[in-house]
Structure 1
Amino acid sequence: MTADPLAEVVTLLQPRARFSKLIECAGSWRFRRKGMGDPFYCAVLDGNCRVTVDGQPPLLLQAGDFLLVPAMHDLIKESLDLPEEETSKEPIATGDGCFRVGPEDEPPNLRIRLGHCSFDSPDVALLVPLLPHVVLARGEPRLATLTQFVGDETLAHRPARDLVLERLLELLLIEALRCGSEIGNAPPGLARGIADVRLAAALRAVHARPEYPWTVAGMASEALLSRSAFFARFTRTVGIRPMAYLLAWRMALAGRLLREQELGLDQVAERVGYSSSSTFSVAFARYAGMSPARYGRIMHRNGNRSSRRSSREAVAPAW
């Protein structure tokens, strides 16, 4: 059996579109956006700018770059020639999905298409750490095209709009993670692990057989590495220890099975690698803060409301 860990994680995250904007900037400018840990992305169409994400060292973006932040809390965009005394400016709406920053009589020095989405999975806090903190892909026109598609569909009111947006976002996120992992200094994350041939073999085996009694030695055998070499390489590349990754993935799968309420507790425990329901219940309660039975009842009763939120319910801020 084969598995695609990256596709499985992105699908389980249940991405939903909130809004997409096209912004033109002129002159010297800076604008800042506070976030609640939701995903943010942008494609630089023309020009360049400086971006600071969550207080990290600034990134210089240029035409053809694509930036993805899976959990954004604070982001600053500014022109490269910004005076120290320059204050933040608010983008002004100029039309459907279009905004302007800076003097209207000056040619733009930056054109970007950006968007915010949300992950509707109740297990988002567990799954997002498997992704890099920041993904930067360069020279990938497919990402700009996908971003344009998301923007067009966000503004349209065609049948099956939400379903189309969901699929487009899945494609956009997977493509960004794949492309970003190919850069030499790519940050640790699942996509970078999949790009490593040895680690990819172990990751696919874990995803294909989550019920198997995996150990670090067993995963190392799949990767054709010694136990110590595998542990160090996995931790450095994926950004999380092998057994911690296994636990995160098992609990995420268990959460989905419990929400679906199609299997008994013993069957769920067996599906995610636990020999008894009691052992599984202790592990799940430690993760979720409640018993599996209570978790399943609450999520089923709520009807997984977050997964049914329409993107039109989100109020789009200025950018």
Structure 2
Amino acid sequence: MIDPLAEVVALLQPGARFSKVVIGASPWQIRRTDSGQPFYCVILEGACRVEVDGQAPIELHAGDFLLVPAAWGVAMSSLEPPSPGMATPHAAVGDGTFRIGKQDGPTDLRMLVGHCSFDSPDAALLVSLLPTLVHVRGEHRLAMLVKLVGDESREQRPAREMVLARLLEVLLIEALRSTAGTLASPGLVRGLADARLSLAIRAMHEQPTRAWTVAHLAREAALSRSAFFDRFNRTVGIAPMAYLLTWRMALAKRLLRQNEKGIAIIAEQVGYSSASTFSVAFSRHVGLPPTRYAREHGSESTGRAESETGVRVAE
């Protein structure tokens, strides 16, 4: 059986590229502006409050994991925030650890924060299928991973950074595939957690070439057309046919980068009846015609793009 989340994660190629340990002594408050980078936070000890991109604040407690696939603004504070206008002291204390709040005395928070990366050239396209925010709490498997991350972050063992990076990569994937215990905003994670909608989503991934309509997908989910459409929009965050289009374009971009097949064959493999129809849809969605995309992003830098008639994109 096709696993839609595994397919999306495999194309995203997630990795943990940067992390730091932060210890806090209340009261404190920090704000940061990111340019749409994936942000994560693991609470190892204590608790804090976080507000992402102007959404309602969330309380994070020991064992919680927060993932924001594309963060623009993050504000974090102790549960007892500082007085308005009060500056928060912060300083590096060595070994990749930073202290915020009072610079002496006991601390009441220990967390690991950082940026992960999605190495796929299609990251922006694929991130649109994910929730804008994933908050995981109470997951036994995830709690074990958080403990391993916490233990590794405290010790100066050989290959510490390499082990931490691998553990965080597993943690990212585990968070994305968690359903029970996950407080996720609309997106693929919530769609797959819905027993009815997951049937339709899996069908789209298993048969991307099929001439799907909303009525066909509603039958897969055993729902009326209107009930399916409303439920999909509310749970996944986009319309069913928009989801299908996004997934088809992600598949098409991967095939074009491989430079191994002609446009007509690729069009057929992603559900289009002709190369010209596919070219129009691809150009509108991606902003480049498929032949140009293949030239600029293909694995064969010397690949020769031909016409839209089905001649191989690369020799």
User: TM-score under structure 1 normalisation?
Assistant: 0.85
Partner of 2:50: 51
- SS class of match (2:106): coil
Q: Is the 8 A contact 2:90 2:103 kept in 1?
A: no
After superposition, what is the alpha-carbon deviation per residue over 1:143-185, rounded to whole angstroms, capped at 9, x for unaligned? Answer: 35445667859x9885xx59x94x6555323321333x43486
User: 1:214–1:169: structure 2 CA closer, same or farther, 3 Å change rule?
Assistant: farther
After superposition, what is the alpha-carbon deviation per residue over 1:23-43, rounded to whole angstroms, capped at 9, x for unaligned? Answer: 110131111121111111111
Q: Is the 8 A contact 2:69 2:133 kept in 1?
A: yes
Sequence identity percentage: 57
CA distance in 1 between counterparts of 2:3 and 2:250 reads: 15
- 1:186-225 equivalences under 5 Å are 186-225=184-223
Shift of 1:224: 1.5
The amino acid of 1:56's aligned partner reads Q
Partner of 2:309: none
User: 1:275 pairs with 273, 287, 298, which one?
Assistant: 273
- 1:1-150 equivalences under 5 Å are 2-89=1-88, 91-146=90-145
CA distance in 2 between counterparts of 1:13 and 1:88 reads: 38
Gapped regions of structure 2 (runs ≥ 5): 302-315
After superposition, what is the alpha-carbon deviation per residue over 1:114-133, rounded to whole angstroms, capped at 9, x for unaligned? Answer: 22112222222221121111
Q: Is the 8 A contact 1:6 1:174 kept in 2?
A: no
Q: Is the 8 A contact 1:67 1:135 kept in 2?
A: yes
User: 1:90–1:142: structure 2 CA closer, same or farther, 3 Å change rule?
Assistant: farther
The amino acid of 1:300's aligned partner reads G
Q: Are positions 1:175 and 2:165 aligned together?
A: no
Q: Is the 8 A contact 1:126 1:252 kept in 2?
A: yes
User: 1:234 pairs with 227, 232, 235, which one?
Assistant: 232
Per residue, is there more helix in 1 or in 2? 1
Q: Which has the higher contact order (CA 8 A, sep 6+)?
A: 1
After superposition, what is the alpha-carbon deviation per residue over 1:195-227, rounded to whole angstroms, capped at 9, x for unaligned? Answer: 111111111111011111111111111111221
Partner of 2:307: none
After superposition, what is the alpha-carbon deviation per residue over 1:58-115, rounded to whole angstroms, capped at 9, x for unaligned? Answer: 1111222211111111101111222333445364222222221133432111111122
- SS class of match (2:298): helix
CA distance in 1 between counterparts of 2:270 and 2:227 reads: 26
The amino acid of 2:125's aligned partner reads L
CA distance in 2 between counterparts of 1:150 and 1:83 reads: 29
CA distance in 2 between counterparts of 1:148 and 1:242 reads: 38
Q: Is the 8 A contact 1:24 1:110 kept in 2?
A: yes
The amino acid of 1:193's aligned partner reads G
Q: Is the 8 A contact 2:259 2:300 kept in 1?
A: no
CA distance in 2 between counterparts of 1:141 and 1:45 reads: 14
The amino acid of 2:254's aligned partner reads R
Shift of 1:139: 2.1
Shift of 1:56: 1.3
CA distance in 2 between counterparts of 1:131 and 1:31 reads: 26
CA distance in 2 between counterparts of 1:6 and 1:243 reads: 18
Larger displacement relative to structure 2 (93-102 or 130-139): 93-102
- SS class of match (2:288): coil
Q: Is the 8 A contact 1:15 1:169 kept in 2?
A: no
CA distance in 1 between counterparts of 2:57 and 2:255 reads: 41
CA distance in 1 between counterparts of 2:61 and 2:87 reads: 21
Q: Is the 8 A contact 1:29 1:86 kept in 2?
A: no
Q: Is the 8 A contact 1:150 1:169 kept in 2?
A: yes
CA distance in 1 between counterparts of 2:119 and 2:85 reads: 37
Q: Is the 8 A contact 2:15 2:169 kept in 1?
A: no
Q: Are positions 1:299 and 2:297 aligned together?
A: yes
- SS class of match (1:130): coil
CA distance in 2 between counterparts of 1:227 and 1:85 reads: 51
User: TM-score under structure 2 normalisation?
Assistant: 0.86
The amino acid of 1:200's aligned partner reads S
- SS class of match (1:71): strand
User: 1:279–1:169: structure 2 CA closer, same or farther, 3 Å change rule?
Assistant: farther
